[in-house]
Amino acid sequence: MELQRTIMTIAGSDSSGGAGIQADLRTFAALGHYGTSVITALTAQNTTGVQGVHGVPPSFLEQQIHSVLDDLDVHAIKTGMLFDAENTRATVRALKKYYSGRAMPPLVCDPVCVSTSGHSLLAPEALENCSYLARFLQFKTCLMLPGDLLRCGPRGVLVKGGHMTATIADVDSLARAHPEICIMRDGLYGDDMEILSVNTPEPTSLVIDVLCEADGPTTLFVRPRIDSTSTHGTGCTLSAALACALADGASVSEAATAAAAFTHLGIRTATKLGAGHGPLNHLHSVTQRLVPPRTPTNPYPLTQLLIKGSAGIWREYVEHPFVQRLGEGTLPKDSFVRFITQDYHYLKYYARAYGQVPSFFSSTSTDVCCSLLAAKSDTFPAIASATQTILNVLREISMHRAFCAEFGVSAAELEQTREAAATSAYGGYLIDVGMQGDTTKLLVALLACLLGYGEVGLWLKRAFGSAAGPERSRRNVVLEGHPYRRWIEDYSGKEYQYAVRAGLETIEACAAADPPSAARLAEWRAVWERCTRLEKALWDMALEVQD
């Protein structure tokens, strides 16, 4: 996830992490934004209560605001607990100083007075300074109060309804009495979604947040009440999520809708923590990214994961005794012929499976790979590379025919050789994956063969060739007189290696454009491991002729 916008919170610190700047920063991160935090006061608190408060000197509070604003481009600001009248004034002073003569980004004020655990977090004189908040709001107050607040100048006032309870009947009668009020039923289905509501229990108790806009209607956000103790930092989370949506350019009403839904899910998905009112789960909106991003020095992160995940089998495959003996030139001719004839049959399946990659070159807009190919400016090289892979299979087949002729097996004999069980098992599996899954899954299945032969080619050339020429480097390795010289040179050669790169590029681009969930990655790993085993089994089979 790349961080989108910078947001500044001016609030208290909660040592237990559930509220204050800690809840704000977690909310910003969960919604993809970068958080900066100006601390007004420290609290020593936990889920059972507030054990101590340490105010920050007003001048240092101002200094923090200047440090942030002097360097970073802030797209939204939220204020939480301002602690006392002096710090409230210091905040106003610093913001006024910075924004005099320039546009201020959206500002969300959360007038934190009392913690969820009941602790007063605003000094009495500050409360007077704000002079408007009743400690326990009643339903009617919520509808009347915002009007008074709106006169202070904000674009909107959102009154959180967590401390009140209403029923669907209350909402329906309110809607009848006040047709001008807009009612948003989140998690309650509209009249074109009756089919979804049939099997969903109707909530008996509702929470209603009230939004009044200076230039808009009054909106009620109605949602099912959750019976939970994980409500520590609900207000902080709501106002932080509001700031995120406003930074994204949402309207006040859109922001309230998004923020209320985010907070609701935070309470709903929380697991109990601590002995009292525990924190929300802010991270319900993200999942782990399992394949790391591609970087210049690690351009093949998925392939690395796959290889490392089955390192033992991969090594048994690419450093198989068959390969070792082939390199040494001690592999019996019979084993090689058996391998080549079976590989010839295998390549039929392989080419057919490649043909199955269904809309790899088509213009179907819904195909991921294809969308990627079409959307990126460098798509033609990608298409060309993929084509090269298919052509490579045909080239391999002609090489196999030549080998067989060289070793006294005619084209007719080659065609008529009965398939070994190892060949049928592997070939059938490729076709099955092609029928069953999507493009990426099939590409993973095709990768073990493509990559493994590339690795084997490079290794054999380096290990069993001898450096020649004035430079005696890896590039000048020759295999003079080696009985399997052509086979090694083919798989270590330019054309095959180019096809490998094209295949790697395609699959890594797919994984980067469509990052897999844990379930999907597990599926790919299983496919990769199975194909690696099936590759090893092909060489076991070829050696068994002899051993």
Of residues 159-198, those binding a copy of itself (CB under 8 A): 187-189, 192-196, 198
Distance from first CA to last CA of the chain, Å, rounded?
Answer: 54
- Within 10 A of 547 (CB to CB), how many other CB atoms are there? 8
Q: Which of 120, 379, 466, 517 binds a copy of itself (CB under 8 A)?
A: 517
Distance of closest approach, residue 538 Cβ to a copy of itself, in angstroms: 18
Distance of closest approach, residue 366 Cβ to a copy of itself, in angstroms: 5
Closest to 252 (Cα-Cα) out of 239, 264, 267, 262:
239
Distance of closest approach, residue 73 Cβ to a copy of itself, in angstroms: 9
Q: Specify the stretch interacting with a copy of itself by CB under 8 A; choose among 40-48, 100-108, 152-160, 414-422.
A: 40-48
User: Which residue number, 418 or 475, has a Cβ lying nearer to a copy of itself?
Assistant: 475
Q: Which of 259, 260, 307, 446 binds a copy of itself (CB under 8 A)?
A: 307
Q: Which of 11, 13, 122, 342 binds a copy of itself (CB under 8 A)?
A: 13
Q: Which of 11, 19, 25, 443 binds a copy of itself (CB under 8 A)?
A: 25
CB 341 within 8 A of CB 404: yes
Which CA distances in Å does 525 have to 113, 267, 444, 480?
52, 35, 9, 40
Q: Which of 298, 379, 466, 476 binds a copy of itself (CB under 8 A)?
A: 298
Closest to 518 (Cα-Cα) out of 289, 303, 309:
289
Count of residues touching a copy of itself (by CB under 8 A): 126
- Within 10 A of 367 (CB to CB), how many other CB atoms are there? 19
Q: At 478, which helix (H) or strand (E)?
A: strand 477-478
Q: Report if residue 515 touches a copy of itself, rule: CB under 8 A.
A: yes
β-pair type (107-109, 466-467): unpaired
Q: Between residue 325 and residue 364, which ones bind a copy of itself under the rule CB under 8 A?
A: 358-359, 364
- Within 10 A of 314 (CB to CB), how many other CB atoms are there? 22
Q: Between residue 268 and residue 297, which ones bind a copy of itself under the rule CB under 8 A?
A: 268-269, 271, 273-276, 279, 281-289, 292-293, 295-297
Task: State the amino acid at position 416 in one-letter form.
Answer: Q
User: Which residue number, 386 or 420, has a Cβ lying nearer to a copy of itself?
Assistant: 386
Distance of closest approach, residue 17 Cβ to a copy of itself, in angstroms: 4
Distance of closest approach, residue 82 Cβ to a copy of itself, in angstroms: 16
CA separation for the pair 283, 245 (Å, rounded): 16
CB 6 within 8 A of CB 74: yes
Q: Report if residue 47 touches a copy of itself, rule: CB under 8 A.
A: yes
Q: Specify the stretch interacting with a copy of itself by CB under 8 A; choose among 81-89, 261-269, 397-405, 477-485.
A: 261-269
Q: Report if residue 378 touches a copy of itself, rule: CB under 8 A.
A: no
CB 211 within 8 A of CB 183: no
CA separation for the pair 391, 396 (Å, rounded): 9
